[in-house]
Amino acid sequence: MDGGMSMAEQQTFEPGPDNQRDFRDALGRFATGVTIVTTQTQDGPIAIAANSFASLSMEPPLVLWSPAKASKRFGYFADAQHFAIHVLAADQAALCSEVAKDARRFRPGDLAENEKGVPLIDTALAHFECSREAVHDGGDHVIVVGRVERVRMRAGEPLLFVGGQYGAFQALS
């Protein structure tokens, strides 16, 4: 067996209300990149940290992400016609933590805006400027599909999230 773990050392369960922590821990075994999604509101820019980002289609160019319905920020993002998804660099863990605590963490001058008024984090490793293509129910989240209208990227290492912690990629020799 891979990893040298016996069957007795493994945990098997059916996800449910009594073992949500175990389910969350199992999902945490999957390393993801870290993003900040931004949109414009009547009260200014708003942001949310998300690791539920994925590519969906090359033609047409589509991506997806999934905000939680329980989030106080949910309505802004489920209804947004335009938004940007920013892939964070390894040195941007503090920024991600700040956005997770404060949706309006940004101050005047911190962000650029595209022609549609979408706030952009210039220092991100990559950003995808999107228009809303579709929103689908996904249990306690929704799946937001965005049509990518423009991409910007730079060289650098990505910020990763695994097991409830931030980290960076290290290639195996």
Contact 150, 132 (CB under 8 A): no
Domain containing 121 equals 33-156
Tens digits of residue pLDDT in 89-137: 999 999 999 999 998 888 767 899 999 999 999 999 999 999 999 999 9
Residue 7 — very low, low, confident or very high, per pLDDT cuts 50/70/90? low
**Domain with 109 in it: what CATH number?**
2.30.110.10
Number of domains in the chain: 1
The mean per-residue pLDDT over the stretch 141-166 comes to: 94
Asked, for residue 138, whether it belongs to a domain, the answer is: yes
In a domain, 39, yes or no: yes
For the chain, the helix, strand and coil percentages under 3-state DSSP, each to the nearest 5:
20, 40, 40
4: confidence class by pLDDT, cuts 50, 70, 90: low
Residue 147 included in any domain: yes
Residue 8 pLDDT level (bands cut at 50, 70, 90): low
**Do 44 and 38 form a contact (C-beta atoms < 8 A)?**
no
**pLDDT value, residue 163:** 86
- The verdict on residue 20 lying in a domain is no
90 located within any domain? yes
Contact 154, 92 (CB under 8 A): no
Residue 166 inside a domain? The answer is: no
How many helices (H) and strands (E) in the chain? 3, 12
CA neighbor of 121 nearest in space, from 61, 32, 45: 45
Q: Is residue 103 part of a domain?
A: yes
Residue 1 pLDDT? 47
Task: Tell whether 17 is covered by a domain.
Answer: no
Give residue-wise pLDDT tens across range 44-63.
999 999 989 999 999 999 99
Q: What is the pLDDT of residue 13?
A: 84
